[in-house]
Structure 1
């Protein structure tokens, strides 16, 4: 069986590594690459959307990064247990009209025994910012 290291149960070191790996993957803005961290039947709640399965994840991410230009993300470990990790994050992006945003949020992740994320629940808020106030570049 394929594994996505590190695998549960998590400790501080492996949970921190898992968060950094997620940040690095999302910053590629490559839906195919990002989707491979999730189970085939992954369940997501992203804002007001409910997404089921790796194929829907790819479609969602493709649309996201077509809208959210110059996307840059920073994640931080918040808490962890055996197979669960909570993160806080912020990311910056602009729309096609040039308006910049900083999006803040929290995610709760649950992993299977092979280290693939089977559940991702995200709550996110957007704040309009001026380009000069960007922190993530």
Structure 2
């Protein structure tokens, strides 16, 4: 039986929102292996100006990301969906090892296979330096 990650396409408003919450929970775990299991073995990503292909590269990318982006905390919001695609807007907060906080904003476009695994993820992200007092997302 093929590996599946419910809910499966075609998406409804309810199942698309479930998919968004599951992704948010996985990313907030900051566990690269756990996150990678939501993607196909040959998943393609564009994250800012970085292109990643496959689970092994996803794990490597996320390990490096969370070594730089400390105390990462993410919120995702469903923007739109179709049968097998979901678009989200998101923001996350993190800080450097020198203590500078950032809020990163962006949009993602997701494309899923029939088993509910994400085969493509395209993310556009911008960063804003913030003070500790400006933080909106608690750890």
Partner of 1:87: 88
Deviations 1:43-74 (A, max 9, x none): 00000000011100000000000000010000
In structure 1, what is the Cα distance between the partners aligned to 2:53 and 2:61?
10
Establish whether residue 59 from structure 1 lines up as the match of residue 60 from structure 2.
yes
TM-score normalised over the length of structure 2: 0.98
Between the two proteins, the alignment pairs up a number of residues equal to 137
Unpaired runs of at least 5, structure 1: none
Establish whether residue 22 from structure 1 lines up as the match of residue 23 from structure 2.
yes
Partner of 2:104: 103
In structure 2, what is the Cα distance between the partners aligned to 1:81 and 1:70?
33
Partner of 1:122, secondary structure, is strand
Partner of 2:136, secondary structure, is coil
In structure 2, what is the Cα distance between the partners aligned to 1:12 and 1:49?
30
Partner of 1:121: 122
